Structure 1
Amino acid sequence: VGLLALAERRVDELSGGERQRVELARALAWNPTLILADEPIANLDPGTGRRMLELLRRRCDAGATVIASLHQADLALAIADHVVVLDHGRAAYAGTPDALDPSLLAAIYSPVPPTGSAHVPPVAPRLLPDLHPLPRLDGAGG
């Protein structure tokens, strides 16, 4: 995750984005068959975010299932095999990125009139269909 130079530092001495990368590294170290990533690149700069998504993509290519919620529709469409586009909590589209009508995204992500409240729905890519249990990272049972 690009943090080798900071290996001797304590996690509580790292920035928010660095901590997020540490958490991704911890998750990947388990070599899980299922990764659930809730906004895995939210606090990262665009270049680092893309590299972290590429790590998840490589894990997917190695046989894991990756389910991620992203607000960056362009990145989700570029990296995912399957996307679910949500509009106010409901699935407006589910399928492959190449079959998605761009006008749907334009309508969902269009500017909100000044009297409305802003709502940006997440785009959740599901990279592979097989789901398997994921061990808890905190070691707790259940």
Structure 2
Amino acid sequence: MVVALGAGATGAFCTSNALWNLLHEAGSVTGDRMWRMPLFELYHKHVTKPTIADINNISKQAGAGGSCVAAAFLKEFVKCPQWAHLDIAGVMENKDDVAYLGSGMAGRPVRTLVEFVERVAKLEKI
């Protein structure tokens, strides 16, 4: 995710448009930008068609969408149909990228997660 988005946004992998919309809205309110990343079948194949194990957590091909392959790997273990994975590798530490945050661990996107949970708690169904 550091290569794809850097400190500009949290990468969000979602299986549901409704879930993505809630995350995106929460991020917009708190100022923690989110960017939806793909969960294409291509990445699923990298994970489920390994040559040396039942499942792989990396692709055989160098530079083959590392974050996307990692999310596809996680997807293999999630039983519910609607889920999200937030890849915070690029935003977890502030190296003077965000002026209002001090140097070091940034706590991003904790504010977004709190806002998201509050929004979900008010819903009857996603």
TM-score, scaled to structure 1: 0.23
TM-score, scaled to structure 2: 0.25
* Bigger RCO (CA 8 Å, 6+ sep): 2
Larger Rg: 1
